[in-house]
A and B are shown apart, each in its own frame.
Chain A
Amino acid sequence: MATHPDLAPNAERIRVSHLCVSYHGVVALHEVSLRVNAGSICGLVGTNGAGKSTLFKALMGFVRPSQGEISINGLPLRQALRRQAVAYVPQMESVDWNFPIHVANVVMMGRYGGMNLLRIPGRDDHRAVRESLERVELWPLRHRQIGELSGGQRKRAFLARALAQGASVLLLDEPFAGVDIRTERLMIELFQQFRAEGRSLLISTHDLSHVTGFCDEVVLINKTVLAYGDTSEVFTEENLARTFGGSPAQLLTSPGLEPRPEPGSEPWRSEP
């Protein structure tokens, strides 16, 4: 695959400093600072309403922070977004699988940001789509309507779109929700390849078993960053208790179960 200019070695992919976001006066994120290095898989762990999706929105430039800054690849966020540096891989439940569109067209949508206003694909665009589909082994299925794909193939199609976009930062929203073991292994394998190419992945999840498995770094978040660093250092009982409330030992031994926050511990639930 052709090397994207933004994939050149660069110590720092994401830098968030002192980020504050509030919706209608309700604080969603407060003083969030973190750094994700090139070629790193970072888990973003927190309960529902802890601000994971707000942080993603901030990284995609959807919300205007009341304070703080974000830079990607050393560039201010806006500039990085214009260079197609950030790709968002949606939760599978949020996709309309009956939409009359086929796999290659979904992947081609990853290229739209770099095209002219009429979005007429050029030779480079077709090549990028082909290479991306070959990477995730979906090239033979490129003419399938997206709903005809299996669960694992669907995930791969959207990863291919991020690849076609040439993004150096991938934001993955609960990528393992409702995925069987085989697909999960395949995805992790792909994630590790992406990491080897110097891309960085920020993976939001509330399932701790995945984080310890393959994340290099972890951010524990509950409106603000509670702990952040190498997975082994961050994953202490104390930190997890602060993130989720309740008994963390229980959480770690029952992977797949969504940690249940104590009643009233989620005052930020109303986040849109």
Chain B
Amino acid sequence: MDPLLWLLEPLRHDFMVRALLVSALVAGVCGLLSCFMTLKGWALMGDAVSHAVMPGVVIAYALNLPFALGAFVFGVGSVAAIGYIKQMTRIKEDTVIGLVFTGFFALGLTLVSKVRSTFDLTHILFGNVLGISGEDIRQTVLISLLVLLVLLLFRRDLILFCFDPTHARSIGVNTGFLHYLLLSALSLAAVAGLQTVGIILVVAMLVTPGATAYLLTDRFDRMTWIAIGSAILSSVLGIYWSYWMDASTAGCIVLVQTGLFLLSFLFAPRHGLLAQQRR
């Protein structure tokens, strides 16, 4: 097929243009956040939070509130629950995380089945970026810009917080605030991300670009640019691919992301598999 046609034909549809723009924005923001997630070792936390926001989204829809609000409450709430149970019992953290997020997710699932008439379960589980409504676009864009602003403003503090929280605290940086700031950003990014790829796969948006970039560079600045770039590229290519193959959009986006990670895993100049074997 003519590559120009491949590129331009989908753009005749308004829904494709909207989908491309929204997911590029969301992917970029999630890509930036994924750098912090990777370095802080919060991948599992990202998985937990992204599942735990579900009941919040459902309740918000049912009550006609902004879904970001519900997601935020349940996202931060799940982390608080994880922290509390861990502190009060002798159960190990990964067990507590597994326990809490499935509980929240199950609550969401049950709620959805009761309010199904206004709500499509598959959209929240697997994303629905091609059919995203005007109101959802507005909220998603707002959330993304808010997260972006927070990450940019507190960039240096967050790097310090990821790298050496003890030092941060000892020089008077409020690490408790940063902890919750990053968690809030995570909850909000998760709810933005689930618009494009759904709850099940949103953790890929929050982890994979950061991991890909981490293998390619030893500089934080470059890492963020690579992560953002690879995330945006993945979402755009993924949407095109899903259009022409008539396949799941979420699946395609995440597959491209995973593909980029594999390339980086194999061919990264210093930390890739081949480079390591040559050494």
Q: Are A and B genuine complex partners?
A: yes
Contact A90/B219 with A84-B171, A112-B173, A165-B171 known, Cβ cut-off 8 Å: no
Task: Give chain A nearest CB distance to B118 CB in angstroms.
Answer: 43
In the bound complex, residues from chain A placing their C-beta under 8 Å from that of B220 are 100-101, 105
Contact among B39, B157, B167 for A99, CB-based, below 8 A:
B39
- A99–B163 CA distance with the chains assembled, in angstroms: 7
How many A residues have CB within 8 A of the partner chain? Answer: 30
A113 contacts B173, C-beta separation under 8 Å: yes
In the bound complex, residues from chain A placing their C-beta under 8 Å from that of B169 are 60, 62
Q: Is the interface of B mostly helix, strand, loop or mixed?
A: helix
- A145–B216 CA distance with the chains assembled, in angstroms: 13
B156 within 8 A of A: yes
Question: Which residues of B from 134 to 166 have beta carbons under 8 Å from A?
Answer: 153, 156-157, 159-160, 162-164, 166
In the bound complex, residues from chain A placing their C-beta under 8 Å from that of B39 are 96, 99-100
Task: Give chain B nearest CB distance to A27 CB in angstroms.
Answer: 20
* Of B159, B164, B173, B219, most A-chain CB atoms within 10 Å: B164
Contact A88/B163 with A100-B223, A119-B157 known, Cβ cut-off 8 Å: no
- A102–B218 CA distance with the chains assembled, in angstroms: 8
Minimum CB distance partner of A109 in chain B? B160
B170 contacts A87, C-beta separation under 8 Å: yes
In the bound complex, residues from chain A placing their C-beta under 8 Å from that of B160 are 109, 112, 119
B164 contacts A112, C-beta separation under 8 Å: no
A112 contacts B163, C-beta separation under 8 Å: no
How many B residues have CB within 8 A of the partner chain? Answer: 24
- A44–B214 CA distance with the chains assembled, in angstroms: 39
- A90–B160 CA distance with the chains assembled, in angstroms: 14
In the bound complex, residues from chain B placing their C-beta under 8 Å from that of A86 are 170
A155 within 8 A of B: no
- A95–B218 CA distance with the chains assembled, in angstroms: 16
B217 within 8 A of A: yes
In the bound complex, residues from chain A placing their C-beta under 8 Å from that of B214 are 100
Q: Mark A27-68, 1 if CB is under 8 A from B, else 0.
A: 000000000000000000000000000000000111000000
Question: Which residues of A from 83 to 112 have beta carbons under 8 Å from B?
Answer: 84, 86-88, 90, 94-96, 99-102, 105-106, 109-110, 112
In the bound complex, residues from chain A placing their C-beta under 8 Å from that of B173 are 112-113
- A118–B160 CA distance with the chains assembled, in angstroms: 12
A118 contacts B153, C-beta separation under 8 Å: yes
A149 within 8 A of B: no
B167 contacts A81, C-beta separation under 8 Å: no
In the bound complex, residues from chain B placing their C-beta under 8 Å from that of A105 are 220
- A110–B167 CA distance with the chains assembled, in angstroms: 8
Q: Mark B165-201, 1 if CB is under 8 A from A, else 0.
A: 0111111110000000000000000000000000000
A82 within 8 A of B: yes
- A148–B162 CA distance with the chains assembled, in angstroms: 19
Task: Give chain A nearest CB distance to B7 CB in angstroms.
Answer: 34
Task: Give chain B nearest CB distance to A164 CB in angstroms.
Answer: 11
A161 within 8 A of B: yes
Contact among A81, A96, A102 for B219, CB-based, below 8 A:
A102
Q: Mark A14-27, 1 if CB is under 8 A from B, else 0.
A: 00000000000000
- A62–B29 CA distance with the chains assembled, in angstroms: 33
- A77–B84 CA distance with the chains assembled, in angstroms: 30
Task: Give chain B nearest CB distance to A13 CB in angstroms.
Answer: 16
B217 contacts A109, C-beta separation under 8 Å: no
B170 contacts A112, C-beta separation under 8 Å: no
Minimum CB distance partner of A119 in chain B? B156
- A102–B219 CA distance with the chains assembled, in angstroms: 7
Minimum CB distance partner of A87 in chain B? B170
Task: Give chain A nearest CB distance to B207 CB in angstroms.
Answer: 16
Contact among A102, A113, A118 for B171, CB-based, below 8 A:
A113
B156 contacts A81, C-beta separation under 8 Å: no
In the bound complex, residues from chain A placing their C-beta under 8 Å from that of B217 are 100
Contact A145/B172 with A88-B166, A118-B153 known, Cβ cut-off 8 Å: no
Minimum CB distance partner of B156 in chain A? A119
- A214–B156 CA distance with the chains assembled, in angstroms: 38
- A87–B157 CA distance with the chains assembled, in angstroms: 17
B157 contacts A112, C-beta separation under 8 Å: yes
* Of A86, A94, A100, A102, most B-chain CB atoms within 10 Å: A100
Question: Which residues of B from 191 to 234 have beta carbons under 8 Å from A?
Answer: 214, 217-220, 222-223
In the bound complex, residues from chain A placing their C-beta under 8 Å from that of B222 are 100
A-B contact pairs, 6 of them (CB 8 A): A99-B162, A109-B167, A112-B168, A119-B160, A145-B218, A145-B219
> Which 4 pairs of residues, A with B, have the shortest CB-CB distance?
A113-B171, A145-B218, A119-B156, A60-B170
B interface with A by C-beta (< 8 Å): 39, 153, 156-157, 159-160, 162-164, 166-173, 214, 217-220, 222-223
Known pairs A84-B172, A88-B166, A109-B163 / 4 extra A-B pairs, C-beta < 8 Å: A95-B164, A96-B39, A99-B163, A101-B159
